[in-house]
Chains A and B, each alone.
Chain A
């Protein structure tokens, strides 16, 4: 019991990390797109839990809302829209999959070597800055909103414009002639 309480954060990290990686592997290996979509949902929710472990409560909730809600509904809707019975692929992977898998493995090894040999200094040197709103410790959502509307206001407006353009583009693309 002591082991669980003292290493709780690490155990939760490994639980959700393996859940995320396992579900991600299932996304690209399963034949039925509906199963892939459900695995993708598991990955999204595990990553949201990992965000919570890094004191990013607002981003974790946005992740669940946008990915777990919006994007997932979009994927499932399109999977139902296209006729799955005609999609019976004989081979789900292209012929180049061994090369791609080798390059992916090499990528992980290289990044791993770089990450393991580098150091980043003390972890979370001033935790109060993650909840700070104008000198007052209010909370993570308030702090993110404060920063978003004061320092990143123009990018925020550009993103809203981008979403409008994406919405119109999606409607125009999917419309019947």
Chain B
């Protein structure tokens, strides 16, 4: 029983869909940011799976770049979250309707 690239692609699609549903439905901004991390992680699974499929290191290098971008995104996102919490005293996204403070 061999594990092929398709197994990894299906797993990655499942994780992507879970992250997508989390982004679309959760009302807590913290959980939405966590779901974005899930989505970025599922992309990494694809990159690694294809890197192994074709014996090409480019996928692993791209995965390192993705991880760096995800780390920066988490830092900025959580900074926005802290600023939003100072303004509204909540992290409920339904309270983020107006642009002006």
Interface residues of A (CB under 8 A from B): 7, 9-10, 13, 17, 20-21, 24-25, 27-28, 33, 36-37, 40, 43-44, 47, 50-51, 53-56, 58-59, 62-63, 66-67, 70-71, 74-75, 78-79, 81-83, 86-87, 89, 91-94, 96-97, 100-101, 103-105, 107-108, 111-112, 115-116, 118, 120-121, 123-127, 129-130, 140, 143-144, 147-148, 151-152, 155, 159, 162-163, 165-167, 169-174, 176
CB contact between B25 and one of A44, A96, A105, A155 (< 8 Å): that residue: A96
- Known contacts A67-B41, A71-B71, A130-B55; is A97 also within 8 Å of B25 by CB? yes
CB of B9 within 8 A of CB of A107, answer no
Interface size of B by CB at 8 A reads 74
CB contact between B19 and one of A24, A155, A159 (< 8 Å): that residue: A24
- Known contacts A10-B3, A67-B41, A147-B58; is A51 also within 8 Å of B11 by CB? no
CB of A87 within 8 A of CB of B55, answer no
Residues on A with C-beta less than 8 A from B31 are 27-28, 33, 36, 92
Q: How far is the CB of B85 from chain A (nearest CB, A)?
A: 5
CB of B27 within 8 A of CB of A144, answer no
CB of B79 within 8 A of CB of A101, answer no
7 contacts between A and B (CB under 8 A): A10-B2, A21-B18, A28-B21, A56-B51, A120-B4, A123-B53, A159-B69
